[in-house]
Structure 1
Amino acid sequence: PPAGVELRYVIADPGSWLYFDPVRPVMQGDGFVMAEPTEACPGYNAWKYGTDGLPAWLPGDARTARARYIAARVDYLEGGLDSSAGKGAFYPVLDKSCAAMLQGPFRLQRGLGYAAYERELLKPEKPRRMLVAAGCGHRVECVLASVEGRALLFEQP
């Protein structure tokens, strides 16, 4: 960015996440543990799920991508009801590949797992927020307009 301009990213309710190593969060009780997958899932760490085979248009290698992500200002937003195959979750379009399912069964679980992975293994330079828009499924007009969405988009505490 130009001098004096600071970029900030708000990642909202994605279907899958980019991991910077082979480790994935595994739901256990009320939290997550970090482990390399034990089930057969060829390509689970390939680009867009991991850093194997990064595209040529990305500058540098996996180590560079990780360092840039750790240094970036990033916050996360998830729909609180985006955690099932029910109404409003748009489950039919959810990525259900083996690599995506290793990240969790639904978008909310995948996002919470990624936040846990990031806190435990990536350790970003700047604090990041993971907010959940209560009462919202996978609907942009609900998630972004929610109290939580407005707080992230307009940098409210």
Structure 2
Amino acid sequence: MSLSVGDTAPEFSLPDQDKQVVSLAELRGAPVLVVFYPFAFSGTCTGELCQLRDELATYTDAGVRVVAISTDPTFALKAFREKEGFGFPLLSDFWPHGATAQAYGVFNDKAGMALRGTFLVDAEGTITFAEINGPGDARAQSGWKDAVAELSAAA
């Protein structure tokens, strides 16, 4: 079951590319853009995260924290972040495998990976934007930006 606008975002505590634990609870007080993606180094995922990297100021200038989550191990995420120069944490949902993706309703059991799920969580932990795209279905990030603009205007 996937999550919808108005739902409370499930908590998570996941290691980042440097094995430092990042939790949604620690980020509370600021909006968080949670971006699930299937695999580090894959073509579509790299393109999406590079666009996010290049347009990061759109989010950070609005006070939004950005985290990207995949089922890759931390070692792969470290190499991916270093190669592409991402300025946001890459979180590993490797073990228990896909547990956070499952909680958000974006885990593909057959492939053992996260779908392309995007959630904007407000400062209180409520989902204000939710989008799920299947494997190979690249996301248009304009919807994310519109959601951030709406959230900023309401603040």
TM-score (norm 2): 0.30
Name whichever structure is richer in helix by fraction. Answer: 2
- Whose Rg is larger? 1
TM-score (norm 1): 0.30
